[in-house]
Structure 1
């Protein structure tokens, strides 16, 4: 019998309201929840594909246990959970008896929207006396977290965008038209495009759907974001665009930053990014004319070359111009329960990598398991 149920999407932190039609355990239809006060029936393309994610041909429908010959055999959930629990207890007891750190490595937990796995994962890690936590966040966002810690005093301080109230939206390394990322993204991008007093700048190598709607699109060469952002900031400084009232009352150490920005060889850096200086100047014109600019970034600069520096420079863009902590600008928020913590100087015994926000990068996971080390990971 078909039934409709209200729920929420967990594929990003916007958590759009959903209504799903079910037939037994199968989801048969998905639509936006028009009663949801935030998203009002809006959906991006990701939840519209939930039936495919849940039912595609490669999806496992039961636990598989590896046999001695390397092949896998289906087993019941009861058997799988019982055997996994027994093996985890055995490994935990061995670690305690040997006096070694927990051999358990945890991968998952998601981030942003899908927190439930992370909460259970943290509890299991504590029980296993382990600190090895890997996930999408540890590969994508740790540079951003580290910068937040230096700028705002805590790596769990997370910034958000005032897209609904801004008169200038700057989009760097993302495509909200396809990936959402802020509330009712397509509606808001359309609203900004059609608003006579609102503008949009996009920095992206590709002419994305969002870039095609922008007032200024800077199609930089991939991997040169730091050069282009540095050049833009240098031009803002040269034109007297720094908000000295905001900087003098709300920040420390800006004179050192200003000196570094003034030393940027603007023409050389713009040429390295392979964009036209006239278009960069036009983008700076729009930035300096804005009364409320907000900057939206994502993985395009957070997983690219110079990713940590990129995260610093994109934040300087709104801090130097004083577009912070007001409606329509960037600011800190409290609506995301973080799955990460603070850096404490701890490093992996195996790789020497520092735990940033309590996380280790996924590209070191194999070494944690395969290393010839008495404290290597034994369970994943």
Structure 2
């Protein structure tokens, strides 16, 4: 038997073809690292592995643990492969023809009875630009509904709102990452780059080697703090107050740039009047950061010749998220640290295409090119590109969480979800699940049967990144082409093709006659022309030749715009707007009944709602469940045991979690990652209070009580 086995293995090895290596991009975070996919094919089986692309100009050949395992979910045999319709409570395989006919019947019946706006569309921040564009067009042309938004609302909407108000435009980073080492002081506020975007940590380490001072602002001592010269362990929800303290020191000690302020900003006098009223001792009492540390941080940044500020969800995911970011932008502007090498601002995007996803029509208030759906000129331009009367375009709809509330109220009767898992990603997720169960029709397009997909009336198998050609816009504002490498499994179809097929059965196929992703991109280019996010000068061939181009790129032959704001800002007068920011308490503060502040975030091994990474055993085994991270002193007062379990409760519900002691977190604060669903879903507890400008929920602060379990 052993001889037979050896002979068989030898034959198998002989039949193995030469390894095929192709290049692709990681589907996870906003860095979009390029990587090599290795396929070893034999008659019996194909084996896959991944290695870093040493020629990647952004990452210099680095991949994190997610990237090294990024192929696993795409080739998983558990992928959805066939259309399915729910019959007698069970999802049953059907043909595409049957599924599309049932979709037509359901959508036309609901819209015929309740009106066009009875159907909503909910997208994702990991879709390609082409899919985002088609999804927005599909909602407004094929369905003629005003209800479309996407999970990126929970990612960068606060930073986007602040940037638009301050600069007149929103691009994630104002400078390319290559300029980070030119900065002499860097502030990392509410961003844990070491775990969320680890392949770009090299830029910050190099900056430090060049003498840069790095300030980290975070309630926790994260892995990013390893490069910090100063860590400000701010109380969750008090970032704007902290910045007011820093602004006071900078103005009082004269670290401003008077020439820049005079020539390139508005609102300085009003800001000075506001800052003069700030008390450093009061700021310290609010934030939990000492006056000495506030002063030290302000001097580090104010005295530095060059400097950059980066924010992420820790600053942005608040009901005051726009105000929080605007105050950090006040710091940038009063010191004149923008529009020059090594000087700028960056919002560290979380999702793979969080930047492109909000530029080309997925947001409730936007049309392609970052145009506004309520602007008559913008509406007229896009209507002409699409070949429809302007008056037929719907008006502005609701944000992502507001759509869930509208479903709960019965205003939205049917929902189409593409590449998102709102039951896990929304705050107050108990309500969201209850609302989705009220729908008369739920259509989900996805790779796996997620927590949300399990409620679907119709579940369609979509495309993974290895099959899905298109462009992505990573955190710098660099647009990249990703080519398709593998055939679709089973009867799965490309996401954009599914939307076109549905439009066809709805009688709107003439507007969706695309034969390739590149054809969609060429229409997107025209649709974006003249808009703030202008891609017109880009082509697939140019993007491949140059390994991406920075928008805005308004005409063919234009080199793109790696550094923004060198000569002017995007308001009509070319100036940036300074704004006094009053401190706002979080919508929930600690009380006797709920004495601790819960904040949420990511861990290195997982991505978003975990649908992909929880299907990857190498990643899931390293972090198999959410942990309640709590200071040992606080745990001792409660009676918790390290490795034991605790019940965590907010006004919205209770979940049970395993306990992890950590000296690296504030004693009044606990932390839980949000990548799990069902009884492990921390968003069952989070606060749905919304920012009035951008409608970002307050994920980062809610009051909780904790008891042994």
Q: 1:263 to 1:38 in 2, by over 3 A?
A: same
Are residues 1:22 and 2:39 paired?
Answer: yes
The answer for the alignment partner of 2:253 in structure 1 is 239
**1:70-91 C-alpha deviation (Å, 9 max, x unpaired):** 2222345x25653465347635
The answer for the alignment partner of 2:330 in structure 1 is 316
- In structure 1, the gaps of 5 or more residues are 347-356
- What is the TM-score when the length of structure 2 is the normalising length? 0.46
The answer for the alignment partner of 1:45 in structure 2 is 65
Q: 1:79 to 1:125 in 2, by over 3 A?
A: same
**1:25-81 C-alpha deviation (Å, 9 max, x unpaired):** 9772122111233333122333223134446797545443222x32222345x2565
Q: 1:313 to 1:344 in 2, by over 3 A?
A: farther
CA contact (8 A) 2:255 2:303 kept: no
The structure carrying a bigger strand percent of its residues is: 2
**1:162-207 C-alpha deviation (Å, 9 max, x unpaired):** 42422222101111111118xx412122213333x21111001111
Give structure 1 regions of 4+ aligned residues with deviation exceeding 6 angstroms: 24-27
- Counterparts of 1:41 and 1:81, CA distance in 2: 43
Among 357, 371, 378, which residue is 2:409 paired with? 371
- Counterparts of 1:164 and 1:12, CA distance in 2: 22
CA contact (8 A) 2:309 2:346 kept: no
Q: Alignment length, in residue pairs?
A: 357
CA contact (8 A) 2:306 2:342 kept: yes
Among 300, 307, 310, which residue is 2:314 paired with? 300
- Counterparts of 1:359 and 1:153, CA distance in 2: 22
The answer for the alignment partner of 2:202 in structure 1 is 187
Q: 1:174 to 1:331 in 2, by over 3 A?
A: closer
The answer for the alignment partner of 1:86 in structure 2 is 104
Are residues 1:4 and 2:18 paired?
Answer: no
Are residues 1:276 and 2:314 paired?
Answer: no
Among 261, 267, 279, which residue is 2:275 paired with? 261
- Counterparts of 2:93 and 2:48, CA distance in 1: 26
- Counterparts of 1:75 and 1:315, CA distance in 2: 53
CA contact (8 A) 2:186 2:213 kept: yes
Shift of 1:150: 1.8
CA contact (8 A) 2:158 2:322 kept: yes
CA contact (8 A) 1:225 1:273 kept: yes
- Counterparts of 2:46 and 2:133, CA distance in 1: 26
Q: 1:283 to 1:71 in 2, by over 3 A?
A: same
Shift of 1:296: 1.0
What is the alpha-carbon root mean square deviation over aligned residues? 3.1
- Counterparts of 2:47 and 2:268, CA distance in 1: 54
CA contact (8 A) 2:118 2:413 kept: yes
CA contact (8 A) 1:171 1:202 kept: yes
- Counterparts of 2:251 and 2:135, CA distance in 1: 46
The answer for the alignment partner of 1:109 in structure 2 is 124
**1:129-165 C-alpha deviation (Å, 9 max, x unpaired):** 12222222222332322222222224x4554344242
The answer for the alignment partner of 1:133 in structure 2 is 148
Among 222, 244, 249, which residue is 2:236 paired with? 222
Q: 1:164 to 1:103 in 2, by over 3 A?
A: farther
Q: 1:72 to 1:99 in 2, by over 3 A?
A: closer
Shift of 1:359: 7.0
CA contact (8 A) 1:223 1:305 kept: no
CA contact (8 A) 1:149 1:157 kept: no
**1:197-223 C-alpha deviation (Å, 9 max, x unpaired):** 211110011111111220111111122
Q: 1:87 to 1:261 in 2, by over 3 A?
A: farther
- Counterparts of 2:118 and 2:302, CA distance in 1: 54
**1:267-300 C-alpha deviation (Å, 9 max, x unpaired):** 1112211122212221112112211111111111
- Counterparts of 1:172 and 1:241, CA distance in 2: 20
- What is the TM-score when the length of structure 1 is the normalising length? 0.82
- Counterparts of 1:365 and 1:27, CA distance in 2: 43
